[in-house]
Amino acid sequence: MASASMAMDAHRWLIDHPKEASEYQGRWVAVSGTGIELAAGSLSEIIKEKGAKNFLITKIPLLKEIEEVLY
């Protein structure tokens, strides 16, 4: 499991790099403070990746998914 500091750094990277993150819309990613390290189509796939648990694991939502939440 990622430390709180590492998770904050990874979250900050996502906020600061929306264009790069948008390339992974609809996919699960493992993020570090320096970028997206791993990507997969499902949560189970990314958890199986070696080293994934050392990063912040999250899903980059599709625009459609964001719109559904907002409206």
DSSP state of 55: S
The reported pLDDT for the residue numbered 66 is 86
Give CA 45 to chain center in angstroms.
13
Nearest to 39 by CA among 54, 16, 23: 23
At 2 the pLDDT is 56
pLDDT in tens, 11-68: 999 999 999 999 999 999 999 999 999 999 999 999 999 989 899 999 999 989 888 9
- Position 3 scores a pLDDT of 85
In single-letter form, the type of residue at position 48 comes to: K
Q: What integer pLDDT is reported at residue 71 of this predicted model?
A: 85
d(CA 71, CA 67): 6
